[in-house]
Chain A
Amino acid sequence: MKHLSEEQLIDLVFEETKDSQSHRHSQSCGECRERLDRIALGLHAVRSLDLEPIPLRKPLTVRFLRSRRWRWVGWAAAASFLLLSLAGTRFELNQGQMSVEFAMFGTQQLNDDEFENRLKGVEADMLSAFQLHAEMMQMQVDDRLNALYAEHTQQMRELSRQVEDDIKSVDYQNGDMIASMRDDVYSYIQSEKVRGRTP
């Protein structure tokens, strides 16, 4: 029988085959036994790893609802700004502080000039309402970007710490190996000297 394929070996190690011929072959063939032992060792190691269970975030669905709600709130806010602006309310945003100025619309008969002026005023209010909405959205985006940046920085810090730990661990191991090799060489020189040979 020729050597077992990778698929057959995987079926064997996961005990997902009833093929007795494969079993017998893996017992009698040194090379296949060796390959099977190697993947069994890998599997054993992976199974031995234990991770703490991940805590499920309960508000997962709530977050979705919230995200949908926020989208709706965004549009509702824009519409409200528009309506209130049409009604003569002025909004101003200075250094993150919002001020609101109320004015009644259409309390007296307007002539053409006055009407035109009022119309221009409404247009200006509409523009400022749009601008205000855009600025508020920008602030939200900025906040999210800042949060992401902070998160990214934290992740990079952790990664860097982990890499440093690994490098240190490798250094220690290399140091140990070099010391061990040096001891071996020293012992060899000593034994050769005892035998009267020059190494």
Chain B
Amino acid sequence: MESILDTELVQRAQRGDSPAFDELIIRYQKRVSSLVYRYVEDRDCASDLVQDIFLKIYTNIKRFKGDASFSTWLFRIAVNDCIDYKRRLKVRRETSLDAITEKGFDPRDDRQDAQIEMGLLTRIENKRIRSLVDQLDPDQKMILVMKVYEEMTFEDIARVMGAPLSTIKSRLYKALDNLGKDLRRLQFIERTAP
């Protein structure tokens, strides 16, 4: 079974061959789980989402026409499910960072001191970085997860997201840029804190 191509397994699964469908799950379960977990950062939610995604794959596999590869189709479903989930849960939280922005702090004002100090990052709790990542736009966060953690190529990400390469890179730039700005604000707080 391991040597069989995805396309053949999909055809068999479409004819109702359960072992073929199981083999497809075995092939992709780890990657999909990893992607979803990295995105939602909650074990239970990730497990439930993965179950839902594969259930969706199972119920829709007959509609898969092979226009894209099976993995692209599968990841597109996974990505859409994750983004939908996040949008439903999205609760905009006011943080001290917003308060600082309102007061008029601009990282550029402090550029001399705000040179990249990677070491300082260790002073910033992981939780805070996670919270910043979580505040990103759902699309931006998904691209970040696919690129940084899943190490997917930009071309694959573009196929999965159904967007041009330039859009993917631009969204990723905005995600990292926003993170960089927020981190500098945090560094500013760390430096000025007693």
Show the binding face of A for B, using Cβ within 8 Å: 6-7, 9-11, 13-14, 16, 34-35, 37-51, 54-57, 60-61, 63-65, 67-68, 155, 159, 163, 166, 170, 173-174, 176-177, 179-180, 183
Interface residues on B, range: 35 or more
Question: What residues of B have a CB within 8 angstroms of the CB of A174 in the complex?
Answer: 96, 99
Contact A45 B121 (CB under 8 A): yes
Number of cross-chain contacts by CB at 8 Å: 133
Interface of A is mostly: helix
Taking the closest CB of chain A, its distance from the CB of B176, in whole angstroms, is 4
Contact B47 A57 (CB under 8 A): yes
**When chains A and B are docked, how far (Å) is the Cα of A41 from the Cα of B147?**
16
Residue-wise, chain B 129-162 has the 8 Å CB interface mask toward A (1 for contact) of: 1111100000000001001100000100000000
Residue-wise, chain B 143-187 has the 8 Å CB interface mask toward A (1 for contact) of: 010011000001000000000001001101111111111011000
**When chains A and B are docked, how far (Å) is the Cα of A183 from the Cα of B192?**
12
Question: What residues of B have a CB within 8 angstroms of the CB of A48 in the complex?
Answer: 121, 126, 129
Question: What residues of A have a CB within 8 angstroms of the CB of B154 in the complex?
Answer: 16
Contact A38 B96 (CB under 8 A): no
Show the binding face of B for A, using Cβ within 8 Å: 18, 21-22, 25-26, 29-30, 33-34, 37-38, 41, 43, 45-47, 50-51, 54-55, 58, 89, 91, 93, 95-96, 99, 111, 115-116, 118, 121, 124, 126, 129-133, 144, 147-148, 154, 166, 169-170, 172-181, 183-184, 189, 192-194
Question: What residues of A have a CB within 8 angstroms of the CB of B41 in the complex?
Answer: 51
Contact A61 B22 (CB under 8 A): yes
- Name the residue on B nearest A55 (C-beta): B43
Contact A42 B33 (CB under 8 A): no
Question: What residues of B have a CB within 8 angstroms of the CB of A60 in the complex?
Answer: 25, 29, 50-51, 54
Question: What residues of A have a CB within 8 angstroms of the CB of B194 in the complex?
Answer: 176, 179-180, 183
Question: What residues of B have a CB within 8 angstroms of the CB of A38 in the complex?
Answer: 176-177, 180-181, 184
Contact A177 B193 (CB under 8 A): yes
Taking the closest CB of chain B, its distance from the CB of A102, in whole angstroms, is 37
